Amino acid sequence: MHLADLFVALRHQLDRDLKETERAALRLEFAPDDAGGVLRRLMALLEAYDGADMLKTWVGSSDEVAPLERCVLAAQAIDQWFAPLASRHLSRRALSDGHLRARQWYKRHGRFNSDVADGQIILRPGLFDRSVNIREVTPLRESFDVADLFHTLLLLPPTLAAECPHGEDGERPVALAFRRVAEVADQCPSDPDWTPVVGVVPLALAEDDLALRTFSKDGADWYAAVPGALGARAASAIDALAAEGATVIVFPEVTAGPATLGAIQAAVRRHAVDGPIRYVLVGVRQDGEEGGKPRSTAVLLDRTGAEIFRQTKLHCWDLDADQCRSYDVRGPDGRLLDAAKEFIAPGDGVTIVELPNMGRLAVMICEDLGREQPAAWLCRAKLLDWIVTPVMDAGLTEERWQAQAGDESSRAGSCRVVVANSMSFSHRFNRVCDADGKEDKRITDCGVALFFQPRADPAQSSRIRRLSLPIDAPEPGCVAARWEPQRWSELKTEGCP
For residue 172, count other CB atoms closer than 10 A to its CB.
15
The mean pLDDT of 87-93, rounded to a whole number, is: 68
The residues that bridge with 417 in the sheet, in sequence order, are: 387, 452
Q: How far apart are CA 206 and CA 474, in angstroms?
A: 10
* Band (199; pLDDT cuts 50, 70, 90): very high
Burial of 64 (0-12, 13-18, 19+ CB in 10 A): exposed
Closest alpha carbon to 450 in 486, 491, 413, 487:
491
The residues that bridge with 123 in the sheet, in sequence order, are: 153
Q: How far apart are CA 378 and CA 376, in angstroms?
A: 6
Q: How far apart are CA 421 and CA 353, in angstroms?
A: 22
Q: What pLDDT does 458 receive?
A: 74
Going across the sheet that includes 171-180, the strands are: 159-163, 171-180, 349-355, 359-363, 386-391, 416-421, 445-453, 463-470, 489-490
Closest alpha carbon to 154 in 84, 91, 78:
78
Q: Are strands 359-363 and 386-391 parallel, antiparallel or unpaired?
A: parallel
Q: How far apart are CA 67 and CA 86, in angstroms?
A: 29
Question: Do residues 231 and 255 lie in contact, with contact meaning Cβ atoms separated by under 8 Å?
Answer: no
Which pTM was predicted? 0.92
Question: Do residues 196 and 367 lie in contact, with contact meaning Cβ atoms separated by under 8 Å?
Answer: no
pLDDT tens readout for residues 94-139? 788 888 899 899 988 999 999 988 899 999 876 554 433 333 333 3
Q: What pLDDT does 135 receive?
A: 35
Residue ranges of E strands in 403-494: 416-421, 445-453, 463-470, 479-482, 489-490
Q: Could you tell me the domains of the chain?
A: 3-156 (no CATH), 161-490 (3.60.110.10)
Q: What pLDDT does 137 receive?
A: 32
Is pLDDT of 475 > 80? yes
Backbone angles phi, psi at 380, to 5 degrees: -60, -35
* Band (184; pLDDT cuts 50, 70, 90): confident
Question: Do residues 173 and 349 lie in contact, with contact meaning Cβ atoms separated by under 8 Å?
Answer: no
Closest alpha carbon to 19 in 144, 140, 155, 136:
144
